[in-house]
Structure 1
């Protein structure tokens, strides 16, 4: 989330544009090696981190009974850090994390990201086309949703429902135009399909075909999920799970050695040319934690967020080849 909204470059976050930021916090470092709080919380979600910061502050207040202050929001936490330099000195880096979480909270509210993220999860993890289309169209009408977020929603819709019998991409493209989304982002919708659409994908990212996967998805739908914002698991999770269980398809993942993999691998090195993501890093962390006897290392040429990934798509030249497609889409929408 930090990398997606603020950007992390060599463990550094540029906070210089944050309203009212102090000089010593214009650039902060997130490093598990030198930051105990970050090391203990780096794999937790947004709400859990906020709760842990609050607990730390409340523990400090118990030691200083005269310095009681309500801590019911991120704003309260920021005010607490500013008002009590003793805590700032004692806590070391916690004030930095209060600032980062505070800025994340501001952006989430300003850009309506709770609703946007919930619909993104629905697009990635569910198969209800009617509901997905209705929710995307609703958010495209919301003035708080930025052109970047609007385009990303349409990209996810386009990738998932590319060949659906009721595909409404032309209409959504017209909605983007009416919303004032720049041509750059509208072109990217077609470019992303060309980059990762069904025609070029080696596996189906959205609709499981085998009976076990379909059953799991069905049961998950019946039970619901504890957190609608963390439903998605990257495709790497399924790939590694199959590798550990000896179920990888040889035609997709050829290997050297015996004709069959009899023993479960103990050391697995994954290197993704083109870039990995922090979500994939979390998947590897969880698999290492829950699979005794297996050690997985993840590497890549970069660590992507949406912006850096789309920049690469632009640099690939796909956007120029998709110009004609974009124009055809617009004309089709106009005829409708």
Structure 2
């Protein structure tokens, strides 16, 4: 089960089916993001695709000598754009691929518009999601709920995205959902309805143990998105933001022009692949080793090219050296900026109190530590609010006077009303009244705190005590102990055997901490393959929208492709 490979195979097949010759890839806003997550521009160019265009662009040139590969979402808007294209074709031939199921009426409309018979192919290829890594996908959707109910349009989009994942992985699953969430039940029923309606598409070879789709709700664990993380991928997303594998470094002090935006992709960056789940201390050590290795391979300044063999060796080695130079510059810059932000905003101190709030039960000490950080001018307002949000969730049933005093401290800091309202919003969203389960604490917190955070000067590992609720949920599922009373099956059939292929989907979004949890479970659970998906992947800003839509700047962020 590899969602990146699934989308790559779709794109490769599109290009192969169009035959030899120069081609243009015609996409919409979303499919541009989908393709750019799995292929770089240089890789696509090697397949004779020389031009990338948007179907909604008004200034595309007529190039009859080119074939056009159209990869589009099956929306009414895209169908209309395609009809306009067919009335006045700009390309010699059109190979049309929709990323999901398209209605027969839309196919009929396209056939009637193709008076010049330029359409050579129409197919459905189900790459209708963002493949973040082999075991993680996202739909890049925020604000899915209206109160505690689905936004109807986003329920439909989520259903399409999730069924596309199942079709691309060739899975017709049994479905379980979180009983405490009406949204989870609605999505489960919506997916089941599509599977029933399009039963011919889901007629895959039966396996001895049927695959399983588990639908969860973010409100059952509002804690995890509120915590700072200390692994490379999670830290980058928390502190800098990962948007379709792209990192905006334009605000980094003294940044060079060519590093203002960089790409971190596990598919094309070996250092990132090997380090994305390592902790920050280990990253520092590995960056040092990378730089030392680079220095050894760096051509000497006075190197003389006296013979043909010297020249040949230089030409052969230079591209590899150039690539390594870019890798070193990129990661040194990223890690350097992470270090600066951690130090400047006292994030280690903030993280220690976060972990204490999430995992310990000493109310008096926690309250004192939160108050102390609220008076620290180096702590960002959003981090200060987040500490109060965690306190409000963790000690919801304690005296209101303590929370009131923390809210007063936020007011004295000059924190905006928009941010302060997040405290009550997160309790309304994921408080005790809503949660189907209680907080998850480490199985052996004492043992964990005796470990040392490598590379951080012997500081006790208080930064990684927390385990997301997903860890326990999947552990129980794999062991066959997940309670049907809390996570019922949709329909009369139940799974009697140990599950093997599991797709987990979190309404309200996942996190990179949970992605790491799934990565580790896949490594340590022989015979079990898990893919994690969510409506989005949260970071420092977007987690402010957990339980509310108050941070408007996180809504509808633009997609940016690799190319």
Q: State whether residues 370 and 387 of structure 2, in contact with CA within 8 Å, keep that contact through their aligned partners in structure 1.
A: yes
Q: Deviation at 1:275?
A: 1.0
Equivalent residue, structure 1, for 2:375: 141
Alignment of 1:200 onto 2:434: yes
Please name the residue that 1:119 is paired with.
Answer: 353
Mapping of residues 171-210 of structure 1, within 5 Å: 171-206=405-440
The verdict on how the C-alpha distance between 1:263 and 1:167 changes in structure 2, with shifts beyond 3 A counting, is: farther
Distance in 2 separating the partners of 1:194 and 1:169: 15
CA distance in 2: counterparts of 1:141 and 1:191, whole angstroms: 23
Q: Which residue of 2 aligns with 1:309?
A: 543
User: Does residue 97 in structure 1 map to residue 331 in structure 2?
Assistant: yes
Partner in structure 2 of residue 243 of structure 1:
477
In the alignment, which of 202, 218, 239 is matched to residue 5 of structure 1? 239
- Secondary structure of 1:93's match? helix
The answer to whether the aligner puts 1:27 opposite 2:261 as a matched pair is yes
Alpha-carbon distance between aligned partners in 2 of 1:225 and 1:260, rounded to the nearest angstrom: 43
Give the match for residue 164 of structure 1: 398
| Aligned residue in 2 for 1:77 | none
Structure 2 distance, partners of 1:151, 1:129, is 18
Deviation at 1:225, TM superposition (A): 6.6
Partner of 1:108: 342
Unaligned runs of 5+ in 1: 68-85, 318-336
Aligned position for 1:155: 389
Equivalent-residue separation in structure 2 for 1:252 and 1:233 (angstroms) = 20
Structure 1 residue 309, shift from structure 2 partner: 2.6
1:161–1:167 CA contact under 8 A, matched in 2: no
* C-alpha spacing 1:90/1:221, structure 2 compared with 1 (3 Å): closer
2:422–2:550 CA contact under 8 A, matched in 1: no
Q: Determine the structure 2 residue equivalent to 1:36.
A: 270
The 1-side partners of 2:550 and 2:293 are apart by 52
Structure 1 distance, partners of 2:323, 2:247, is 21
SS of the counterpart of 1:314? coil
CA distance in structure 2 between the partners assigned to 1:21 and 1:272 by the alignment:
37
Q: Which residue of 1 aligns with 2:498?
A: 264
Instruction: Report the structure, 1 or 2, having the larger helix content.
Output: 1
1:255 counterpart residue number: 489
Conserved in 1, the CA contact under 8 Å of 2:297 and 2:321? Answer: no
Aligned equivalents of 2:546 and 2:297: distance in 1?
Answer: 51
Instruction: Give the number of the structure whose residues are more often strand, by fraction.
Output: 2
Aligned counterparts, 1:202-241, within 5 A:
202-206=436-440, 216-217=443-444, 219-220=446-447, 223=450, 227-241=461-475
Contact 1:15 1:28 in 2 (8 A): yes
**Cα separation, partners in 2 of 1:181 and 1:121, compared to 1, 3 Å:** same
State the distance in 1 between where 2:549 and 2:323 align.
Answer: 46
Question: Which runs of 5 or more residues in structure 2 are unaligned?
Answer: 1-234, 302-319, 454-460, 552-563
Structure 2 residue matching 1:143: 3-state secondary structure: coil
SS at match of 1:173: helix
Q: Deviations for 1:237-287, whole angstroms, at most 9, x for unmatched residues?
A: 000000011111111101257876442111111011221111110000000
Q: Between Structure 1 and Structure 2, how many residues are aligned?
A: 292
- The 8 Å contact of residues 294 and 324 in structure 2, kept in 1 or not, is answered as no
Q: TM-score, normalised by structure 1?
A: 0.80
CA RMSD of aligned residues (A): 2.6
Q: Per-residue deviation at 1:221?
A: 6.8
Match of 1:304, SS state, is coil
